[in-house]
Amino acid sequence: MRYLAIFAFFACIMATLSFKILYKDCGSKLGKIDEVDVFPCNHYEGCILQKGKDYTINVTFSLTKPVVDAKVVVHGIISFIPIPFPVQPNDACVNSGLKCPLNANIKYRYTATLPVKTDYPSVKLIVKWELQDDKTKDDLFCFEAPLKIV
């Protein structure tokens, strides 16, 4: 009983730190996003990211068509100008919870770490995060979400 109470306490803490965020689908052609959450974050309308910390992005999605390989493409959009943001690894099936090939009609959970470096400027931006079919460049999913770096 005591362990159950401890587990429930930590589950509540984790639930407050990880939050489904407000996002806009920006062209998911081969799939459908079920939810996007960021850890740690507790702001529905945009996470506040602190410099020098790492954040975890989780996207739950399903595909309408199978995909052999996928890559990650990320941009920060500042004043309507997309700025490429290199993500390592850019192979979507390495260290992400995904194992390629990916099949249709199965729910997947993609996970990535977003390091916020101390030399990043303090700025409000829109992050555009895409998983693309490596051959066709069609988006498995694409979402845009507001973020603020402080």
8 Å CB contact between 33 and 60: yes
Q: How many domains does the chain have?
A: 1
pLDDT tens for 40-51 read: 987 767 799 999
pLDDT digits (tens, 9 = 90+) for 55-92: 999 999 999 999 999 999 999 999 999 999 988 889 99
Cα 54 from Cα 138, distance rounded (Å) = 28
Domain region containing 68: 2-149
For the question of whether the overall pTM of this predicted structure is more than 0.95, the answer is: no
Closest CA to 74 of 126, 1, 11: 126
- Report the CATH number at residue 117: 2.60.40.770
